[in-house]
Each structure stands twice: as structure tokens, then as C-alpha cells.
Structure 1
Amino acid sequence: MGFTCPNDRWGPPFERPATQRHSQRSEVVGQRQDTFKCNITSKDALSAMTRAKTPECRQMIGNIVCDAQAHQLYPTQLPRYCPLKGNNTGLYVGCFKDDIRARIFPGPATNLQQTNTPMECVNFCLRTGQSLYTLCVLTGQSFYTLWVPTGFQLAGVEYSYECWCGQSYGEAMKLSEQACDSPCPGDMSQKCGGFNAMKIYHTGLGETVRPPLPFSSTSPGKGGRTDKVRIVFVLTVNGRAVRQVRRLLKAIYHKDHYYYIHVDARQEYLHRELSPLSKRFDNVHLAVNRFASIWGGASLLRMLLQCMRDLLRIKHWKWDFFLNLSESDFPVKSLDSLVAYLTYHRDKNFVKSHGTGTSRFIRKQGLGKLFVECDTHMWRVGERQLPAGIRVDGGSDWVSLNRDFCQYLATSSDPLLKGLKEYWKYSLLPAESFFHTVLHNSVYCTTIVNNNLHLTNWRRHQGCKCQYKHIVDWCGCSPNDFMPNDMKKIMASLTRTKPIFFARKFEAIVNQEVINEVEKFISGENDIYVAGMNSYWQNEFHHRDERTTCDDAYFTFYNSFVRLTVNTLAHSSSICHLVAGKILQAHVYNHLDSFQGLLVNFEVTNAGDKMSHEVEVFLQPRSAYRVIKPVGLIKRLKLIEVGTKFDPKEEIFRNFGSLIGPYSDVVLRHSWGAGTKGVVSVVYIDPAHVVAAAYDVTVVESEHIDQQNPNLNKPLRPGLWNVKLVYSSNIVAETDFLVTPLSHIAGLPITNREALVAHGGPAHLYTNNDLSHMQKELHLINTKLAVRTSRLNEVKTGTSLLAWIDSLASKTWIIVDTCYYGDMSLSTCTDIAPCKTSYWSSKYPDLKSQINDVDPSTGKMVR
């Protein structure tokens, strides 16, 4: 689907620019000289090594796979130190009569066709079981927390390959050993029951019985202690949402607690913006040992353990609990209520269990798979066995752990902890099961409370779309952002019996209204409006970033916006002559949770007084969506738009300004109301009137948002593209989107050679099909003129290239306003207002996210 030009190309087949070559392989798999200490046959491992980008990563994968094959990577058996364990693991009880109509054990059960032995079954039942859960009953002002036994105390082998788990064998009839003499497939010298005859063994898991545990804000804590606990809030933050991080810190701050902020190692902007906090407040530190944590990566667990070690070295910080949060968390109850709750339960550890059968959890989490993290990717490299002898549990990686347990995690080298660390080093999502498993098998097994103190917004039909396949060889799920219509869910959780103090996820760039509502609720104030309350600004670019690369299309647009602004000001006043300097920052600007436009800060020199100033411009995109014929199915259509970085979980473009370049992966987002099911055709047309792609899209009956990825070959031809919706042979709706020519590659001015490649369109077709016959069907006119214009444009360089870029940008963006920042006004440009009074400006007061001094009477930050 595409257009074939004479000689199949408008220019020689030049090599792509350097920034587009980074993903191309520099060597052929068959020519590699990698050497490994074993013969690697695992399909997963071979696939991972083929896809790995660097020789170092391939070598690491190979070494780890070989160590795993030699059983040298982690222990195959681990001890349990839980004082609640029953009789010795594997202790034989006897041979008992079973009945298919009345089982000794109701289950769970599994068929271990090739590996069954008594100990194999014991380990299965030890790992498998009901999840620990906490039941809290609200009576007056008190919570009652009940613990229920978890796991199975007994394992039974039957009919050679069957493995059954249970808690009691009741009054089952004991049989002679001859009835249980079927050989075990995993070891023919051992016996695995018989027909309706079960050999029963102890797993070593004892019965857990605890009395009700009352809680109230006035009750004394452990050992009668009434002194309030001190919490160290460990904020693990990523991205560029610095205003949301500050707002979170402001909401949970008190002088008696501590705040340890780990900024992802790749986020230099966020780290630079937050660094002044540690100088301003004695109880706020930024982590020195920083990790680049990816979704599901093993580095997350390493980071949390390193934070514990670092915190224990800060001797003057007398904290009692380690509680981790991210920039997407926000409190839903007061800090005082959290402190009261943890003060009473100061000897407990709070972790949330999965709530399903452990075997299913192990499968879903990939705990039986071997993973290696390198090249910023989690590679699945093979199968593995969980260590025998331990109870496995897991769920959420948001935890609240007491200091004693953190001390154990950070300093102990006992065989259990050492072995678990070695195993979980090669696990997917390790923080979601490591702490749980250590607690269950260590001396701290009596301290578990199944509550992570969080309400999590799960919408699995949206959050489980394998959206992380580009960074992990697994399909995982993530919670969704809260929206205003979720307030009922949040409020309901606060009246439930289980103590909830935080909720996630909140994302101000997606919706800030719900955060405002929550903050209003926990503050007890009906009206907390402050300056900037309904506005949100998020940084997209900062000139001081050295390692963070700015997308070439973004940087091209920003430079064009600066040139257009200076020219517009010059035309508006005969004495306002500004010379543009470097770009300083760029922001996304939302108001009332609606994208308003982009803000670009840049330096100028005033030709009148030769003084340097900082100017900010506010630009809005022009509307491009048009309904031509609202008939039939199209009456349901709400919007079609094209962008990049589509987030299937939140159903939005993360490229908020839709700044698209020749090497962008474009996606069509289409939104529909409820109605009759039908089919529409989507047609993509490039600036030369080439029909690039055409697809049929099925529109389901329900109200929904969907995406359509045309998978176009690169580079895209620069200029104004058009997308048409065709229904019943009629063009019924359309939208335009701009693919900008590039002025920069990797931050440097584009060379003539790079420009010829980037601006000439793909070497062949956009897709596998030639759709040139559709030009007449779509009534495309002036096609020859469009071709000639594109040919002339693709060879432009220097000032003519910049003029072409600016002409396109001015057709799709509007300059709304301009302001200056600083004490000295632009004397010759009197129409420019100061940024501090311009409501849209990133320099406008934003009190909700402003870090203020501490009120000595309350210990909290001044609002």
C-alpha cells in the first residue's frame, strides 16, 4: 500500500542519519565471537542473545545461563527459620485409604507425571496454599485484625504421580504399606502411594493461631509503648513530574519523620530540581546510590535494599518504619492516622499478598523463569526450579517494614536470606515477592500483616495489554490512573474495615481534579483554592540536561516556535527587535485537565538596549478534525487524531503536542460513543498525495477508545498528512497531522546528506501494498503539483529548510501569548507582560506544589 515513483526513489539510496542507525545491528549473529563455558540450547536464551544490543549483555546472559545449567546460580534447597513451623519437613505420617467420592484432602492437587516424589510433593504443598489475609472489623473506633493460617501442613502422594495438599487427614483409615507401593516417577526407588491409597507427609508448616489484635488511636503499642513511631518515607521517583513530587512531599511532610528520595539514575532533570531539598531540610535526603529501574526489573529490589543499607548508616535518623511510595501515590488519610496505626503495630510488617492460589501466582509472576537484566531490558532466558524447603508468597511491591526487619535484610548473611537474594536477583518483578517470602520463612513470620496500606486502581481490561513488551519478555499489568469518577471508590475504601492510607495511581498530567478532591477531603477544607490550583505544568525539555536526549522532532519544533515568536513580535511593533538565543525549557500546559498547548522558554537579546532577557511563548495547536458526512456509524464518532507514544492503559498520547518527525511511529486514536457495530476504512495520505496505507477497522458496540497502527516504513515524507475515514464508499471524516522536516539530528544542525535521506520519504513503499489506484477513488486533485512540490522541498537546506519548517509550523500552531521573566522589562516591547502575572506561564505561582517553610506549631509545611 503506497505510491511507486519513477526509479522507485526520489533520490539516491542514502544511508540513514546516525540517530536512526542506533537500532541497527552492527554484526551478524553468525559472525559473533562470543564464547561461553557451556553449550547453550535454551530457545529463550538463544533468542535473548540474538536480540541483545551489546556484546557485554550477550556475554552476561550466556554466563548466567551456563551457571544455571551447572546449578551454581542459587541454592536448590533453603532452610526455614519460622518458629511456627510444625513437625520436621518430610516426616512420614503413614499410608491412608482415599476415596474418589470423599477425598482425604479436598485439594489443591497436581499431577507430577515425571517428577513426583514425596519431597517434590512436600515442596509443592509448602509453596502452594491460600494466601494470608487480614480481616479488620470496625467497632466504634477500633480495628480487630485476624490472621488466618496460610499454606498446607500436609502433603500426600497417590497413584504414582498424584500430589495432594491438605491441613488434616481427619479419620481416614490407615492402610498397610503394601497398599502404597507404587513407584515414584521422579525416583523409582521411592513409593508414591497406590490406587486410592495415599502416603502422607508433614510439610513442616505449622498452624498459625493468634488472638484478635485490637487497634485504636488511644491504645498503647508494643510492650505498652506510647511514643509515636517515626516513618522514613522512601520516595522512588521517575520521569519529569517534579511538581507532583513536590505536592506529594508537601502532603506527607512533618518534621518528626524522614524523607529519602531515590531519583532514577537516568532522570537528571528531576534530580537537579529536587536536590535543593536536602540542603533546606535536615530530614530530607536524596539517595547517592542511584539505580536505573525499569518496569519489572531486578534493579528495583537492589535499589530498595541499598536504600535500607544507606538509611541505617544515617545514625541521627531514628526511624521505626520503612514505607516506600512513588510519584504516583497520594495520601487519602491524614498523616496522624497513619502514625497512630503504625504506632500500635510497631512490631509488624505490612505486605500485601496476591489473594489467589500460590501456584497461579508463581506462574503469572514468572517465578519459574530465569530472567537477566541488561541493556535496559529484562530478558527471559530459560526455565528454573524454585528452591525447595520454603514457602513462597507475594503480591504488591509497596510495603511498610519495621526497622528490625530492615536491619535483618540489610546486614544478615544467614543461608536463607543469602539464598533468597541470589534467587531473586534473576527474577521478574522481584520486589513483589521477595519481602513476602523472606517474612514467611524467617524468624519474622509472626509479624506479617496482609495490608500494604494502599488502595490500587486496577482496571485489568485496560492495564493488562502487554504494554511493557519493549522492555521485558513478559506480559504484565499496571494499575490505572484515578479519574474523578473514581472518587466513590476512594471514599468507599476509607469507610471499609481495612486500614487504607494511600492510593495509586494519580497522575496530574492525566487528571489533576481527582488529586484536588482527595487533598480537599484529607485537609477537611471545602475550599482550598490557591493560585494555579486548576493548572498543571510539566517539563519536557531543559537546556541543562546533558545525558537526556531531546527527540529531533521536538527540538525542531521548539526552534521553529522561537523563530516564529521573534518574527511575530517584530511585526507587531516597529521598535520590538529581539535576537533569539538558546532554548531554555519547554513545558506542557494543562488547565482544567485539558491540554492547552506548549510553552517554550528562550533567551533573547533586545536590539534596543543590548540586554539579555528570558521570554516564554504559549502556543496552541490548530484544530484538524472534521466531520464531513455524519451518517450511520459516523454519528457515534467523537474524535480521530494522530500522534505518537500512545499509552494503551490510559488511552492517551504521551507525545502531548503531537510533535511528529520523519522517523516517528504514528498511531491513529479513534473515540466512539455506544451504538450499532460496523466497519470503517482508514486511509493515510502523505503530502505528495501518495496513498500510504489503508485499513479496515471494526467498531464495536460499546463506547470505547481504540488505536490503529499503520506500521509505515520510514522515513515519513515531511509535510501535512491527511487521514480519511471512509464509510459506505463515502468520505465521512478526516484529520490532518504535520510531519515536520528536521532542522537538527542528535541536537546538531542537520547536514545536507542527512536532510536528503530524512526528507525524501521511504526507499520503496510505505507498506507492502501499492495503493496508487486509490488516488482516483479518493478524488485526490493536483497530484502532479504535490509531487513536484515534495521533490523541491526534500532537497532544501540551510535557511530555505528553516523557512519551510516555519511555514508548516505556522499552519498548525497559533501563538497565543508571550511574557518575559525577570526584574527588568523589555523596554522596547511594551506589549509583553511579565510571566509572574501571566496565568498560563510556567513561571506563574503554583502554590499547591510550592515547598514552603515549616510551621513550628504544627511541624507541617505552611500551605
Structure 2
Amino acid sequence: MSPSVSQVLFPWAIRCPSTSTSCPDRFQGYLVRHHATNLATSKLETLETWVMPKKAFKIANPPNSFTRLQYAEIGTEWDAKERMFRNFGGLMGPTEEPVGMQRWGKGANVTVTVVWVDPTNVIAATYDILIDASAEYTHYRPPLNLPLRPGVWTVRVLHHWAPVAETRFLITPLAYSKHQPIRQEDTLRFHNGPAKNSYMEQSFHGLNPVLNIPVHLGQVEAAKRNAGLTGAELERWVDSLIREMWSAVDMCSTGPSACPVMQACTKTMWSSLSPDPKSQLGPPRADGRISLLLNKGTRDCDLTPSECGKHRAHIKHWYPDQKGISSRLGLTVTRSRNTRTLLQAAAQIYLKKLESSPQSALAVCARFWRDRSAALPNSGWSVEWRSGVYARVSGLRPLKAGCTRDPPKRRCRYERVRCSCRLPGT
């Protein structure tokens, strides 16, 4: 394939599903769809690549005795309520105003020093943060003079001037301005750093020898040369910086490919084109209900969990209540050794309840858990029932928030209900 990308169609921010136990709920990368020329056939092919940021945070080596700092990150669009950066992946240019975030463990009150260093080892900012004993997160945006010098920046956290940890972030050069390839006068304006190479009114040059951050003349001269790059040379510079901070996890083809080792996007588990049977609904039945039974993979099943593979079966129903409002129910049955009979019995009882009960979805869900102990004696099932934000039931305890009435209260009737049963240890 040609190493050059002709057009980036769209990025995708992907996160692990909230129901996954093997994958934390954190940013996993971007899906980028692009065109590339197959050099063997000279034909244009559309590819999709999963790119992921490399690990930027690292603890000092040897480790410091100060252990409260758990993580640090630099980004923009900090959401203090959700405690996350809305700019996933930290995509930043020379005109951005980055924010430094730190996550802390419990401990005594302490003061730490944060030092920002630009790609030429110029200390752009330094400040102290008082960390309370109960503090979990801190964030601060230093008032840096713009534009920021493109390249890889370093932020160090010090305790009593001893290194604790550091993180890196990328300021990406601008290859385009106003939807056109950037001109040289604009590159010199955006890529040369702030006026007089001073990010703040106060100068921190005296801290370079104290922090053992030498300023090399070669780095400064290279930065000046890169500031005037345009065209293909500028794109190569951008590519080299991206490779330093990002990695390509996998790649696939959206259509037929002449490359024999190129996998099809429809056969991957990560692509935007990979099958998602959970969002595929069948036609409604005569009674108005829509039901779907799926296994852990991509094959649709009828109504027998034992036919849905060896690991997990999902049953989802959209059940109209007395007011015509559709409530959603879900039964997740996880199977380990010798549980095929329990799977079948649980699903059959569940479906029978749905078919015969004229009550709302919430009442059906409650009755199922209330009756299942008699239907499945000594089965070892543990039960968790949740409905919106107002009620939770564990095991066979009575429903909270007045949901034991038959029919239930209005606020219960309109809630989306998820019923799940799992085998212990799975």
C-alpha cells in the first residue's frame, strides 16, 4: 500500500462497553477511515485503521517515596463534573490552552511542584499545588503565551524537588489553515513559539540546571528549521511526531482488496463495520412485541439459549405496558459447566411470563424474580435487578420505591428495566 493517505473521512472515538469486565471504561483510540493506493494494482482502496495513543504517563525511576500521585494527563475541554477530558486523545495544536490534571490517592496534606517543558527544553511554566488529604483530582490551566511550540512536551511532578512522575503530550503542527495547505508566512507565525520564546512574564531559565534539563543548541536550530516547513516536508514532520505518540493497532479493508493479508472490516471485532447484532431488531410479532435472542458472537438465534453457543445468551424484549409505553427488559444468562438445563429453564419461564402477563414490563420482571426460586430450586442463581436510578433489588429482597404494587406506580411503569441473572463466579 502507498504510505500516503489521500483523505481522512472521519474519526471515531471508541470506548469499551460499560458491561465489559475485561476492558476498562476508558478511551481506546480512534477509528480513521481513509483512502490508500495499492501499489501492486494502482487502484484506490478504502481502509479503516484503529489508532491508539501510546502510554505517556510514567513513574520516576527509581520510584519516589511519595506515592499519592496515581495518574497525570494533559488535554483540553476538561469536564470537572465527569472528571474527564472531552477532547479524547488530547488532539491539540499551537493555539490550544492545555489543562494539567492529576489524580491522587489518600494521604497527608502535601505540596507538589509541576513543571512544564517545551520541545526545546525551555521551561514554560512551574507552579505549586497544595493537595488536601481527601483530594482525588486537581486541575490547572497555566496562562501560557501562545502559540505553543509544536512537538512533544513534558510535564514533570516533583515533591521536595525530587521527581515523582512525568507525562508527555503532543502539540501537532498545522498542515492546513482555512481549509487550504498552510502558507510559509503562517507556519512561521504558528510554529515558532511565543514572542521572545517566553511563555510567561516570569522567566524560568534558572531552573534548567536545578532540574537537570539542559538546553541543546541543536534542538533549538532544528525547531527553527521545522517552523518554516511547508508541503511534503511539513507532512513528514507531522507524521514523525504522530508516530512518536500514537500507534496503529489494526487495519482492515472496507471492500474487496487485492492484498491477500488485508482482513475485511466486517470480520473484525473493532471496526465500525463489524456486525452489531444487539442493534438489529426483527419484525414485530402479531401482539406488537419485538423479541430478539442473541449469543455472544454475531449469529441470531431463535428462542433456545442452548443453541446460542457455549458462553452467553442475551434475551431482549420491548414490551408495551397498559399505557402503550414500551418498556425494555433484558435477561442475561451466563453459562459455565453443566448449566444447559438451567439456561433453558430460566429462558422458558421468562418468556412464558412475558407472553401471558397483561401487566406492565416492571410487574413481569418483578414476578419473574419472585417466582424463580420455586422454578429453579437449588440452582445457585444470584440475582441483580435494576430500574433506572430509583430502585435496586439484590436477590429476593422486596422491591424499593413502592414498586411492589400491582400494577406498579406510574414512575415505575415508565422506567426501562433490566433483569439479569448470573451464575456465581462467572
TM-score range, shorter chain: 0.5 to 0.7
Secondary structure of the structure 2 residue equivalent to 1:856: coil
Alpha-carbon deviation of 1:854? 3.5
Query: 1:753 maps to which residue?
Result: 185
Shift of 1:681: 0.5
Output aligned runs, 1:34-49, within 5 Å: none
- Give the strand-richer structure, 1 or 2: 2
1:837 to 258, 267, 272: 267
Pair 1:740-2:165 in alignment: no
Deviation, structure 1 residue 631 = 3.2
Paired residues for 1:488-527 under 5 Å: none
Q: Partner of 1:623 in structure 2? A: 55
Higher relative contact order (CA 8 A, sep 6+): 1
**Counterparts in 2 of 1:695-714, with a 5 A limit?**
695-714=127-146
Give the CA deviation at 1:861. 4.2
For residues 753 and 630 of structure 1, the distance between their equivalents in structure 2, rounded to whole angstroms, comes to 46
* Deviation readout 1:789-836 (Å, 9 max, x if unpaired): 2111111111111111111111111111110012x2x11x22210011
Label 1:662 to 1:838 Cα distance change in 2 as closer, same or farther (>3 A).
same
Hey, what does 2:122 align to over in structure 1?
Answer: 690
Out of 201, 218, 221, the residue aligned to residue 768 of structure 1 is 201
Q: Which amino acid aligns with 1:735?
A: T
Find out whether 1:589 has 2:22 as its counterpart.
Answer: no
What pairs with 1:546-561 in structure 2 (closer than 5 Å)? none
- Equivalences for 1:383-422 in 2 at 5 Å? none
Between Structure 1 and Structure 2, whose CA radius of gyration is higher? 1
The alpha-carbon distance between structure 1 residues 858 and 776, as it changes in their structure 2 partners (threshold 3 A), is: farther
Query: Residue type of the partner of 1:674?
Result: K
What SS does the corresponding residue of 2:168 show, helix, strand or coil?
strand
In the superposition, the TM-score normalised over structure 1's length comes to 0.32
**Residue 852 in structure 1 maps to residue 281 in structure 2:** yes
CA distance in 1, matches of 2:27, 2:128: 30
Q: Distance in 1 between matches of 2:181 and 2:50?
A: 25
Kept in 1: contact 2:38–2:45 (CA 8 A): yes
Structure 1 residue 816 and structure 2 residue 245: aligned?
Answer: no
State the one-letter code of the partner of 1:845: P
Distance (Å, rounded) in 2 between the aligned partners of 1:858 and 1:752: 68
Give the distance between the partners of 2:289 and 2:200, measured in 1 at CA. 59
Q: C-alpha distance in 2, partners of 1:856/1:799?
A: 59
Match of 2:273, as an amino acid?
K
Identity %: 34
Query: Secondary structure at the residue paired with 2:208?
Result: helix
Give, in whole Å, the separation in 2 of the partners of 1:839 and 1:619: 15
Report the alpha carbon displacement of residue 741 of structure 1 after superposing the two structures with TM: 0.8
Match of 2:72 in 1: 640
Task: Work out whether residues 64 and 163 of structure 2, in 8 Å CA contact, stay in contact via their aligned partners in 1.
Answer: no
Quote the Cα distance in structure 2 between the aligned partners of 1:580 and 1:805: 13
Letter in 2 for 1:859: G
Query: Contact 1:651–1:706 at 8 Å: present in 2 too?
Result: no
The alpha carbon displacement at 1:583 in A equals: 1.6
Counterpart amino acid of residue 648 in structure 1: A
Which consecutive residues of structure 1, in runs of 5 or more, have no partner in the other structure? 1-564, 568-578
Distance in 1 separating the partners of 2:115 and 2:2? 38
Residue 272 of structure 2 aligns to which amino acid in structure 1?
Answer: S
Cα distance in 1 for residues equivalent to 2:284 and 2:71: 49
Pick from 3, 20, 38: which aligns with 1:606? Answer: 38
Of residues 227, 230, 234, the one that matches 1:794 is 227
Q: Aligned equivalents of 2:111 and 2:99: distance in 1?
A: 18
Question: 1: CA distance between counterparts of 2:42 and 2:178?
Answer: 31
TM-superposition CA deviations, 1:127-154 (whole Å, max 9, x none): xxxxxxxxxxxxxxxxxxxxxxxxxxxx
Tell me the alpha carbon deviations over residues 278-298 of structure 1, each in whole angstroms, 9 at most, x when there is no partner. Answer: xxxxxxxxxxxxxxxxxxxxx
Equivalence map 1:307-322=2 (5 Å): none
Q: Letter of the aligned partner of 2:281 in structure 1? A: N
CA offset at residue 843 of structure 1?
1.1
For the 8 Å contact 1:669–1:707, the answer to whether it is kept is yes
The separation in 1 between residues aligned to 2:232 and 2:287, in whole angstroms, is 61
Q: Is the 8 A contact 1:617 1:819 kept in 2?
A: yes
Look up the equivalent residue of 1:856 and give its one-letter code: R
Question: Is this contact kept in 1: 2:2–2:39, CA < 8 A?
Answer: no
The 2-side partners of 1:597 and 1:685 are apart by 26
Matching residue of 1:678? 110
Q: How does 1:424-439 map to 2 (within 5 A)?
A: none
1:718 aligns with one of 150, 163, 167: 150
Which string of whole-angstrom CA distances, capped at 9 and with x for unpartnered residues, describes residues 742-775 of structure 1?
1112332111111111101112421221111111
SS of corresponding position for 2:74: strand
Q: Compared with structure 1, are the counterparts of its residues 774 and 607 closer, same or farther at alpha carbon in structure 2 (3 Å cutoff)?
A: same
SS at match of 2:156: strand
Q: Is the partner of 2:133 in helix, strand or coil?
A: coil
Aligned mates of 1:830, 1:669 — CA distance in 2:
45
Partner SS, residue 7 of structure 2: strand
> For 2:5, what is the secondary structure of its paired residue?
strand
Q: Distance in 1 between matches of 2:185 and 2:291?
A: 57
One-letter identity of the residue aligned with 2:216 = T
Greater helix share, structure number: 1
> Which amino acid in 2 is paired with 1:584?
L
In the alignment, the residues of structure 1 paired with residue 14 and residue 85 of structure 2 have an alpha-carbon distance, to the nearest angstrom, of 15
Q: Secondary structure at the match of 1:786?
A: helix
In 1, Cα distance between the equivalents of 2:270 and 2:233?
A: 33
Q: Partner letter of residue 795 of structure 1?
A: G
Which runs of 5 or more residues in structure 2 are unaligned? 17-22, 293-426
Cα distance between partner residues in 1 of 2:2 and 2:98: 31
